[in-house]
Structure 1
Amino acid sequence: MFLILQFFVLLLTFTLHENESFAQYIPPSPTMVSLVHKHTDAATPLYSVRIETFNDITQFTPQNFLIDIDAPLIWHDCISKWNKHRVSCPLYGGCISPVSCEDFQCTKVRSAYSYKNPSCSPVTNSSTLPVSGLCSCPVNVKNPLTKSCSQALLNYDDVIVNAAYNINSYKPHVRSLNAACAPSSSFKSFPSNVTGVMALSMSPYAFQAFFMNQVTKRILALCLPSGSKPSNPGVLFYGDGPYYFHPHYSNVDIRSILTYTTLLKHPHSFGYFIGVNAIVIKQRSINIPNNATTKLSTIKACTTLRTDIYNRVVRRFSKVTKQIPLAKPVTPFSLCYRTFINGTRVVPRVPDISFSLRDGKMWTVSTANSIKRITKHVSCLAFVDGGATGEHAIVIGTFQFEDNLLVFDLEKSVLGFSSSLLKKQTSCANFNLM
């Protein structure tokens, strides 16, 4: 009898232990991964991700999307595909299917984003969907390069991205989303083979919003490559990491070296804003007015400063680099240096430029992100005069992002930044997807 009782006690103990283990177990939260490619065949460098979209009822094909952290809505060239399968495509099926103007989703999407593009004409329900005869759901889309507006048709779309549960495990992941089908003419000035806009803003219809609260945390991490070789891409993470880069940081999660600052909201934009108190150059601060806004952009090639701020930055930077021989300015830059003297290439030794943030943090811009090589003989300070009446006093552009890891944490409303990864003996091209 004692042995039987002892057996039941042991069984109960084992069962309770197992139940406790199961209760504490939390399934891994996957991190979506897309490779980022730099394009230099447009007027300015731009960056894209390749996402697989439905081209046929049973087939996905890759399509390149321009990264835009300000766009309210995803849109791409898909009207021909949509028309091809308009009859056989179910409303929530595995292909591109239209949204009717009578669908609640049409009103919901329009009301969420339309006021963000006040320069666009109001949309109407004048056109009808093929075959069904129902009215279509047109939405305005704005070309981020030309600023021109055009109308696109809202649809239900399916895509594939990669999902990572740990650094060595990846698998395809599919989710339905709302996007807009735009005519090919809407993509003027885009890099070749880029036929979509990947909205990564705070909008409820940004790309990551269709994964958030389902399988990933509301976090984006962007690492733009400095080179344009397809073999050395950067990386875009959807989710909370970890973020490993090699060779030097192969066993270290880059999150451990990030600094965080508060993300600010703007009443007329879904984009990302931070508070900047001053720009510091060699221990001298150039103060920024309290009401000035600082925006982040993946469309602007270099950081633009309102004229009053720009002039003070250039004046200060000129003073602390007066030992470097000057070169004739190259548009749009006004401060350039000779980098090839007496037959020898010279790398300008310049001080860091730091953004002093409102919460006491410092975002340091080192030489790799402040001095841009223009020709073999000339390099320039990569900051641009944004005019005296610009909407935003500071717009931090992509040259200052390259080889920096930026983490947009919408869970906590903070921006994480690494400053230059080159100083950590790694780069954005050193993420290993395989």
Structure 2
Amino acid sequence: MFHLLKMILFFLAFFVLKHEYSTAQYIPPYTSFFIPLNKHTDAAKPLFSAQIMTSYSNFQFNHSNFLIDIDAPITWHDCIVQWNMYQRNCPENVLCTDAVNCDEDICTEVQKYSYISPYCPRLKRTAPSPTGNCTCPINVMNPVDIWCSQPVVNYDTFFVNTSNGRNPLPVFISASLNAACAPSSSFELFPNNVNGVIAFSSSPYTFILSLDQPPLKKIFSLCLPSTTAAPGILFYGNGPYYFIPNSNVDVRSYLSYTPLLNHPDSFGYFIGVDSIVIKNRSINVPANSTTKLSTIEPYTALRTDIYNSVVRRFSLVTKRLIPTSPVPPFSNCYNTISNGTKLKLKVPHIDLILSGGNKWTISTTNSMKYVTQNVSCLAFVDGGATPNYAIVIGTFQFEDNFLELNLENSTFGFSSSLLRKHTSCSHYNHTIVTG
């Protein structure tokens, strides 16, 4: 009974805060919103999801897991649209949402942000239903099989947790957005229990912008976990952010910054990498090269000319390691056991020298991937001779790094490995503070 009463009070607090939030004098008790992030290894490649509260029923929130995509122009997920939500005829265990009519202005606006790809068919109006309604399709790209489909645009309301920087607070905030409904078959190759894609890009229809509620700033931070056993976290807002056991240290104090760069053909995020340094030797990155951040690609991909230079230098400074046969997609692999003894694998840092001169250090835990108990490989891959982007930084290099994308002043903050600070992305205290 106590827990039921507490949930009712929490939910009432949510509505009161939403009402008071519109007044200029109101200062919320929270400093940020947060979303738990999970790692999945049961698909073709490691992927990460955001755990979103999608509906409220029976005095509790229902959760869904959405793949994190910082390129996607719109959020899309497993749901169906209904023209009359008051009929309450939604099938059991199915999320139903309000449809956007093809004649509404918002349909035309959202369709401007469809994926442009040779895999995607041309958008066209759907035939009116017997009730005179027609749906609003949009092109989306499936990040798992790189195939285009056409879900239909809807009106969604999700819910997110709030935080004071140290703990969650018993207040939940709604985020209203235009998303898209796709059939369940669209998610067959996704990790188990993941049935959507959440957009954290720079598109005006990104989920991030649906959280825009002053006085919180337009800043979001990703901290991807290195384990499937405990979640990482995404923050949106002002901070500060404290991880245990360093409970009095704002993790943002570890950050260095570089400008975020625009790219005319993408809603993703880009930075400038001027050179790559391995044990005091600098590898030049051509000035016209583009470096993209990705939450879909698992390992950093380097254009062939850059990749060959990195591998050559890395091989030279790791001659003491025992090489073994390559394990695709990696070319440089090493034995981690010699004469029955487990070797302590430590290799030189790989430093990315970024625009502005700051250094993003990729230490052993983010540069070497254990593919078996006996073999570890350099976790960089050959991106080909003529890729779209010279460098794509993947999620293995993100793990246990605190990354801040500041949409207010277009900067990218990076901590390098939190493990060197004796904490990790799984060390946020999820105990709710009620007093």
Give the structure-1-normalised TM-score: 0.88
The AA in structure 2 aligned to 1:303 is T
Q: Which residue of 1 aligns with 2:133?
A: 134
Q: Is the 8 A contact 1:139 1:153 kept in 2?
A: yes
The one-letter code of the counterpart of 1:103 is E
Q: Distance in 1 between matches of 2:234 and 2:345?
A: 31
Aligned 8 A contact 1:57 1:95 in 2 = no
Aligned partner letter, 1:241: G
Q: Which moved more, 1:379-388 or 1:51-60?
A: 51-60
Matches within 5 A, 1:195-210: 195-210=195-210
Q: What is the match of residue 269 of structure 1?
A: 266
2:408 maps to which of 401, 406, 411: 411
- Conservation of the 8 A alpha-carbon contact between 1:352 and 1:366: yes
Kindly provide the amino acid, as one letter, of the partner of residue 207 in structure 2: F
In 2, Cα distance between the equivalents of 1:146 and 1:403? 27
Q: Go from structure 1 to structure 2 and tell me whether the alpha carbon gap of 1:54 and 1:96 turns closer, same or farther (over 3 Å shift).
A: farther
Instruction: Tell me the alpha carbon deviations over residues 303-360 of structure 1, each in whole angstroms, 9 at most, x when there is no partner.
Output: 0001111011000000000011111111110001110111111122210001111211
**Partner Cα separation in structure 2 for residue 224 and residue 58 of structure 1:** 30
User: Do residues 174 (structure 1) and 189 (structure 2) align?
Assistant: no
Measured at CA, do residues 189 and 52 of structure 1 come closer, stay the same or move farther in structure 2, by a change above 3 Å? same
Alignment of 1:321-336 (within 5 A): 321-336=318-333
Q: Following the alignment from structure 2 to structure 1, what is the Cα–Cα distance between the partners of residues 345 and 165?
A: 41
Q: Is the 8 Å Cα contact of residues 352 and 367 (structure 1) preserved in structure 2?
A: yes
CA distance in 2, matches of 1:303, 1:239: 28
Q: Is the 1:116–1:269 contact (alpha carbons within 8 Å) kept by the matching residues of 2? A: no
Q: Is the 8 A contact 2:43 2:189 kept in 1?
A: yes
Equivalent position of 1:312 in the other structure: 309
CA distance in structure 2 between the aligned counterparts of 1:185 and 1:147, rounded to whole angstroms: 15
| Contact 2:82 2:96 (8 Å CA) reproduced | no
**2:233 paired residue number:** 235
Question: 161-170 or 356-365, which moves further after superposition?
Answer: 161-170
User: Match for residue 217 of structure 1?
Assistant: 217
2:300 to 299, 303, 308: 303
Shift of 1:84: 9.1
Cα deviations by residue, 1:85-134 (Å, 9 ceiling, x for unpaired)? 64538xxxx961000111111111112x12644541111112335x6322
Matched, 1:160 2:159: yes
Q: Residues 148-190 of structure 1: CA distance to partner in whole angstroms, max 9, x if unpaired?
A: 1111110001111101245343411112211000111222421
Tell me what 2:256 maps to. Answer: 259
Aligned to 1:389: 386
Q: Using a 3 Å threshold, how does the CA distance of structure 1 residues 385 and 365 change in structure 2: closer, same or farther?
A: same
Aligned counterparts of 1:102 and 1:341: Cα–Cα separation in 2: 69
> Corresponding residue for 1:360?
357
Aligned equivalent of 1:61: 62
CA distance in 1, matches of 2:221, 2:252: 10
The higher radius of gyration belongs to 1
Mean CA deviation greater in 115-124 or 138-147: 115-124
The aligned amino acid for 2:144 is L
The structural deviation recorded for 1:238 is 1.5
> What does residue 342 of structure 1 align with?
339
- Name the residue aligned to 1:39: 40
Tell whether the 8 Å contact from 1:302 to 1:383 is kept in structure 2 after alignment. Answer: yes
User: Which residue of structure 1 lines up, in the alignment, with residue 104 of structure 2?
Assistant: 103
C-alpha distance in 2 between matches for 1:407 and 1:132: 47
1:19 is matched with none
SS in 1 for 2:181: strand
Map of 1:420 onto structure 2: 417
Structure 2 gaps, min length 5:
1-23, 89-94
My pick for the range that moved more, 63-72 or 187-196, is 187-196
Give me the whole-angstrom Cα distance separating, in 2, the residues matched to 1:115 and 1:224.
26
**Preserved CA contact (<8 Å) 1:234 1:429:** yes
Give secondary structure in 1 for the equivalent of 2:110: helix
Hey, what does 2:193 align to over in structure 1? 193
Q: Which of the residues 369, 372, 377 maps onto 2:374?
A: 377
Report the alpha carbon displacement of residue 55 of structure 1 after superposing the two structures with TM.
7.7
SS of residue matched to 1:101: coil
| 1:246 paired residue number | 244
Moved more, 102-111 or 293-302: 102-111
For 2:4, the equivalent position in structure 1 comes to none
The residue that corresponds to 2:12 in the other structure is: none
**Is the 1:54–1:95 Cα contact (8 Å) retained in structure 2?**
no
Q: Identity across aligned pairs (percent)?
A: 56
Residue 234 of structure 1 aligns with an amino acid whose one-letter code is G
Match of 1:18 in 2: none
Q: Secondary structure at the match of 1:423?
A: helix
Q: Cα–Cα, structure 1 residues 355 and 166, in superposed 2: closer, same or farther, change >3 Å?
A: closer
Task: Give distance in 2, aligned partners of 1:216 and 1:179.
Answer: 23
**TM-score, L = length of structure 2:** 0.88
Distance 2:187 2:270 in 1: 27
1:150 is aligned to 2:156: no
Say if 2:126 and 2:136, in contact at 8 Å, map to a contact too.
no
Q: Secondary structure at 1:179's aligned position in 2?
A: strand
Letter in 1 for 2:184: S
TM-fit CA distance, 1:47:
0.6
Compared with structure 1, are the counterparts of its residues 57 and 155 closer, same or farther at alpha carbon in structure 2 (3 Å cutoff)? Answer: farther
Decide whether the 8 Å contact of 1:277 with 1:357 is kept in 2: yes
